[in-house]
Amino acid sequence: MTDDRQAFWGARPAGDGRWHAALWAPEAQRVALRVNGADTDLHRDADGAWRGTAAASEGDAYLFVVDGKALPDPASRRQQGDLHGPSILTTLRKPDPWPARPWSVAAVYELHVGTFTDEGTFAAAARRLPDLAALGITAVEVMPIAQFAGSRGWGYDGVLPYAPHPAYGTPDDFAAFVGAAHEAGMMVILDVVYNHFGPEGAYLGQIAPPFFTDDRHTPWGSAIDFTKVPVREYFIGNALMWAAEFGVDGFRLDAVHELNDPSQPDILTELSQRLRAALPDRPVHLIAEDDRNLPRWRDAGAITANWNDDYHHSVHCLLTGEDESYYASFAVDPMDDLLRALTMGHVEQGQHRPPKEEARGARSSHLPPTAFVNANQTHDQVGNRAQGDRLLTLADPGQVRIAHALLLTSPAVPMLFMGEEAGVRRPFLFFADFDGDLGRAVTEGRRREFEGFGAFGEDVPDPLALETFTASRPFTDLPDDADDWRDLTRRLLALRAASIAPLLATRRRSARAWRLGARSLCAEWRFDGGRIVTYANLGAAPDRAWTLPGADLSIAQPTDACAFAIRITR
């Protein structure tokens, strides 16, 4: 692993019982390293970083003292307690090698460590991984684990991106989780947040005010200033740590449209280049969440795939009839949008779509299907609803089953949200663990967010309540049809692994889809290696009955309102 990050940030062994420390604090007058209560002055270099060594041992507590104020290391790998106290000197073993897996075989499972099991730990989650592998899951996407305030949260308010959240376990526990996934044949994709820090415990603004800029803004305030080398190294070094030292196979990059970087190359491009240069012997998959629907990073080879919310919105509007907020443009003709998503990836590709005032996106139909991660449910689309509603509580179960089959057997990379494989109806709610005024502001803000929706009003669950968190555990009680859902998921993913994934490793030649009725479709994808033909009735029988002789998998009869069939030729 490169030492570039360590030139500006963090503590590492220097040998002979000493540790090297670095902190970029360009406006500070004095910086010391405090280890077990004893201070060692660091020296300031021309680049604004303070550096030095001190006698110390692994496990010792330390702080940086910046102009008299003792602060935790912003690159802390482990805290002694909460965000505000000492950091712990920590090293990590190198991960065991494993052959990695190509993106063409990806079938992704998104999970939140804190609610995935009753224990809410890396160790407990690791024990469940063989069950996911047996279903046919090939990649687990872990919601953010960077340490955040309190014990409960989604993880998108992290402030110490190098330190695994202690409520989940230790750094070694997360390394063991990654190792268990690899042993089960699954990749680990880590969700990381490089566009902002949480509202409590983030001291970088005090340590290094130039870390942020008032020239650009995000929904969270002043933007992170990626034009500065130490700032870039902070985040690039973070990704390198997770990949090189923990063995993580890739990253889901949160809201890259908020990175606001005018540099050339921009931070995402350099991040990709540095990861692949540091780890040339295995792939590192980068999945970007980009609300702009811009394929430029994928065109340039910087990322592997985009999260495709357009697919979700099309399916959701078709099955539920919802048309408010960002669903409005997809509610006009969700069936047509679904056809576009199946064949082109993004639905919105720069065309004007009422009732939106501005066009969004750029052409994406030239990209391979594996350039898109499609989902019927995600943490965002479930958890950002007032009641955390799962799709099975909003739509006809028969239609949801067909949508499930369509998702898992279409060429785009499918992603399930934890519990979806078992037909779980329990909610996934927004929850947090802030104290005092900040906690009250979060609770009131959540209520205000939904006050215009008469169906909710004062019934919006309090995000700070422990009950809100525990209600979000998907497997506390399973529905009666959980085994049927798991069996369906297993059969669909077995077909994907055996017959669809091999085609995805070859060039796609064409993709087309057409209506067979108001809620019925046929889709065909041709590859150099073969052909996929799919029929789906999503709530109404077709205008003209279809047949698919020799189908590899079918559900119900072609004349039924909810039916599905697929045939793959190689």
Binding site per annotation, positions for substrate = 252-257, 309-313, 379-384
Give φ, ψ of 469 to 5 degrees. -65, -50
254 classed as catalytic:
yes
**CB-CB neighbours of 487 under 10 Å:** 12
At 18, the amino acid letter reads R
Give φ, ψ of 213 to 5 degrees. -135, 140
Distance between CA atoms of residues 79 and 59, nearest Å = 10
Q: How far is CA 334 from the centre of its chain?
A: 25
Which residue positions form the known binding site?
A: 252-257, 309-313, 379-384
Catalytic: which of 289, 322, 337, 420? 289
Give φ, ψ of 96 to 5 degrees. -65, 140
289 classed as catalytic:
yes
Question: Closest Cα to residue 121, out of 161, 166, 59?
Answer: 166
Residue 214, burial from CB neighbour count under 10 angstroms (0-12, 13-18, 19+): exposed
Q: How many CA atoms lie within 13 A of 137 on its CB side?
A: 30
Residue 398 makes CB contacts below 8 A (sequence gap 6+) with 539, 561, 562
Distance between CA atoms of residues 391 and 412, nearest Å = 20
Q: What is the dihedral of CA 370, 375, 379, 384, to 10 degrees?
A: 120
Instruction: Return the sign of the alpha-carbon dihedral for residues 474, 285, 105, 99.
Output: negative
Catalytic: which of 110, 225, 233, 254? 254
CA–CA–CA angle 321, 322, 325 (5° rounding): 155
**DSSP 8-class letter at 84:** T
Return the beta strands (E) in 5-86 as ranges: 9-15, 18-24, 31-35, 38-41, 43-44, 49-55, 61-66, 69-71
CA–CA–CA angle 108, 112, 113 (5° rounding): 115
Question: Closest Cα to residue 361, out of 285, 257, 287?
Answer: 257
- By annotation, the residues acting in catalysis are 254, 289
